Amino acid sequence: MAVCVAVIGKDNSPLYIGGIGNDCSTDNELSRQWLVHTALDALEERLATSSSINANSGNSTAHTDLRDLYGYVTNTRIKLVLVTSSTSPSGSNIRDAEVRTALRRLHALYADAICNPFHLPGDQITSVKFDKQVKSLILNNV
Amino acid sequence: MADDIIFELLHSEIINYAKEQSKNNGNKETDLSVVEYIGFAAGYKIMERLTREWPRFKDELDTMKFICTDFWTCIYKKQIDNLRTNHQGVYVLQDNAFRFLTNFSNGHQFLEYAPQFVAYTCGLIRGGLANLCINSVVTAEVQTMPSCKFHINVQRTT
């Protein structure tokens, strides 16, 4: 299941990092940043080599012992990162399709969030509504 | 269509607002940067939504084609009539019946008012491109009334 979600801006600055989790590796800000940072390197690498070929905002992955990291880059160079624990509670592996829908919905949420007239492009997303919606996405989707 | 006219009315109110502001500040000329900025913000936000399900753009020209077709259709319900480029960062988009100018008489009578009505769109294009990581300067040119040319000058930082 998903434990952490991040939105990274054009210049690789974190716009939003949030997550749920009750184990020590994801429940604090610092370890989340670490996880997301790991994914960014993998993402950048893929972008550099295949930026023109990849159809829609390529899914790229990285793995650590306990976590799977999924990345998604939008046309506007916003990077969305989803961190899941390697196995879902039921024991089966998480399917790519599920991750893709989750990331797509996250992008929709992000597009809504920046339409807030009080949000300045490039600023961190502080919207409570966005936070709530992302958390429910994490809980329900994967 | 009623919902089309709402956009036009809102747009003309934005211009009135800018005029009023400049008058209050004691400027004789209308300060169009406010209108341009409103356009910029709108373009920036719209782009995030429009490109959501879109395949990645191959290059700059591909992005411009997107502006001419889908972006323009979304906002003005028509496509750009002509796109020209020198392949060195200058693009000229020509709209033969620009929506905000079609309600004017075709003569030269109101030509001096035209700049007010294209400022928003200049900002819109600039904002959209900015969100796609293309920094540009957009200017507009109106020679005969309902048609309008937008010059996009891409700023390259190398």
**Is ipTM beyond 0.85?**
no
The A-side interface with B (CB below 8 A) comprises: 10, 51-52, 54-57, 74-78, 107-108, 110-111, 114-115, 117, 121
Q: Partners of A7 in the beta sheet?
A: A16, A80
pLDDT digits (tens, 9 = 90+) for B127-145: 999 999 899 999 999 988 8
Q: What is the CATH number of the domain that holds A49?
A: 3.30.450.70
Residue of A nearest to B62 (CA): A52
> Tens digit of pLDDT per residue, chain A (142 long)?
677 888 988 888 888 888 776 555 556 777 778 878 888 887 777 777 654 434 344 455 666 666 778 888 888 888 888 887 766 555 455 677 778 888 888 889 999 998 888 888 888 888 889 988 888 888 876 5
Give the number of residues written for chain A.
142
Helix boundaries (H) for B25-59? 33-50
Domain B34-154 class in CATH: alpha beta
Q: Among A57, A108, A115, whose Cβ lies nearest the Cβ of B45? A: A115
Instruction: Quote the number of domains for chain A.
Output: 1
Interchain pair A75, B132: CB under 8 A: yes
Domain range for A119 is: 2-140
N- to C-terminal Cα separation, chain A: 5
Q: Answer whether residue B120 shows pLDDT above 90.
A: yes
Task: Tell how far CA A116 is from the center of its chain.
Answer: 20
Query: Best mutation site among A50, A52, A75 for testing chain B: the one with the most B CBs within 10 Å?
Result: A75
Dist CA B138 CA B123 (whole Å): 7
Given a cut of 90, whether residue B126 has pLDDT beyond it is: yes
Determine phi and psi for A47, rounding to 5 degrees: -65, -40
Q: How far apart are CA B63 and CA B77, in angstroms?
A: 19
